[in-house]
Structure 1
Amino acid sequence: MFALGPSDVQVAGLRRNTGAARFVYNHMLRRVSAVKAQRAAEASYGVAEADLTPWQGWSLPDLRRTWNEIKTWVAPWWAHCSKEAFNTGLANLSAALGNWHASRTGARKGRRMGWPRTRLAQQFTTVVVEDLHVAGMVRNPRLARALIDAAPATLRRHLGYKTGWYGSVLYVADRWYPSSKTCSGCQTVKPKLSLAERTFNCATCGLSLDRDINAARNLAGLVRHVDLELPGDAKTGRGAYVRPVRPAPAGRAAGREASRPVHPVNAARQRTAANRESRLLTER
């Protein structure tokens, strides 16, 4: 038998590349889903086939072509990851969508497959997002295109009811919590931090790391000591509010997936999750 013994640098590289594969899978799945929904809406209004929003193909070459066109502004960090990581995520998505289509048309035997989904709410017991002022952010022409394509409001809505399905909990950090400006090491808050500064450097304790990782650690810290079974708003010792989001009952959430029955919440699993490292998603 053989066992891997990667160094700290190699572990960081493995995490970075596996994260890149998951990112491109989720991002392109949301893109294909959005185009599919848009075309269906346009068709319901009587729009002619020739005038519908152009279809997003899901063959590997089609997905790769689109990704190469948008990666610079969707994932400005892409050059720090192996291109094979992105190719793996795209290949997995292409296979998943291909299997779905084959199942729908009867070309694939076995149980009928549903539309592929992102796995965040299913994999992690605690998910944290920020209550960002998206309407104001899209006024910035440099951010508008990326924000509209990422559809953060749709992602948050999906997380709202999917966390209920799988017995996990979604927390929303207060809009005014300075997650990016706060040092995750010493909690010193910077008075200013421009969008151009992609690395957070703390003048107090000397911490230096990617600004998004710094913000993610701060958001994880917000719910680390929150009792997951307390209803309503919960306040941490850091002075920022996080509120648990109650999922919509089956049949009231928007979309076809709303008909799926809500799974009972596993309270024991939630109590255990409070003592674990909180996992999170930052909308930005």
Structure 2
Amino acid sequence: MARLEIPHGWVAQAYRYALDPTPTQERAFCSHAGAARFARNHMLGLVKAVLDQRAAEQSYGVAESELTPRLGWSLPALRRVWNKRKNAVAPWWGQNSKEAYNTGLDSLARSLEAWAKSRRGERAGRSVGFPRFHGKRERASVRFTTGVVRVEADRHHVTLPRLGSIRTHESTRKLGSRIEAGTARVLSATLTRDSAGRWYVAFQALVQRAAVRPAHVGVRGPLVGVDVGVKSLLVAATPDGSEFERFHAPKSLASARVRLRALQRKAARQVGPFNTEAKRRQQPSKRWLRTRARISKTYARTANQRRDALHKATTRLAQRHQTITVETLNVSGMRTGGGARKRGLNRALADAALAQVRRMLAYKTAWYGSRLVAADRWYPSSKICSGCGSRKPRLLLAERSYGCEYCGMVLDRDLNAAINLARLGEIHAQGEQSPAESGPVEGRGAMQETEPATAGDAAGCEASTPPQYLLDQTGTASTQGEAV
């Protein structure tokens, strides 16, 4: 699929606003989301039927030229077939905007493309399964790319096709002022509903903005290394070994577990949508629905608290520092496996949302004229001593302090890692090259780090050849991270 070419000096940015729709508008929202889901499921059923028919015919020895014709999986091909069938299968299609059906078909086209590329080995990451049918509990979403999509001048209303003017819960001043000044252009609007039932509209816009730092924010540290973790969300340190800032993790999910446990037990005592004795679905009670709504609101609140803490911390770092060095973590791999013994750690990793730190810093550093340096995934920032440069072969997660066996230094584990990352960014800022810098690896790479060879009796500190990413005795690193 073709990607949008962003002009020089412009950036793609999204503005998300909460809505306060009327009951009539909310029913229209649900109708559009249901239309998108129906179009996707109908065409997915047709695609699956054609694939099954062709497989059956091939098993009977039917020639390739006589098989059932293939059904195109691209968005234009799916749209052509849908337009031919919609009068028969969905005579009510005129009640909703055409963009609703296009949203469902676009979702199906992307899913089929990802599945096909994964089967051919052209898609990095985990294997993608065949698309599944969406139910009513799926996230409701409709994307508008044509028609009347605008932000009203009163700063409290937005207009969408077939839905009309909708009141926003917050002011749209930031986007509206840019549109009036000619420094922003709206590309599309996406209407979504979160787990708590609140509707949002997100405007994707091209924004002309220079990489400048706000006038009221001063540069306090030109270069810092940032270590992310579960206990301390972010620890920033300078190359000279001093701690600059420390942001504690909000742990919003852990704080809400007591309330969630009580609500979930209450829901289990009520009449739910499934009868365990008869093993069939049933109509849930109104009290169960109210309890489920309270559970969803609790989860939405924890997500908002987590997102707010991450945005504040990353914005502060991007505005106050010239160069920021972060580590590259395989967070999904860290949460894989372990069973019941690792359930608490997996929950804590999900609560911290460590992968969001690098993603937010990537675009915020471009906004404010900073520079982001990403260390290699296997760079052992936590195992290297920031004092003498020696490396520990293994560091347990329970060891919250780093104790060096050679120089005797004892330091906080997160601070030690942040110092090593800062020195890595310092070398990158100086423009030094190293053999370890070979660029990012496409596709699947190594799944585990190779440990150094075991030292002999007369090995001293290091019997084997020191890896290129170790620090030398002067406290300087010998490699650099990938510049983002």
Higher strand share: 2
User: TM-score interval w.r.t. the shorter chain?
Assistant: 0.3 to 0.5
TM-score, normalisation: structure 2: 0.27
Higher helix share: 1
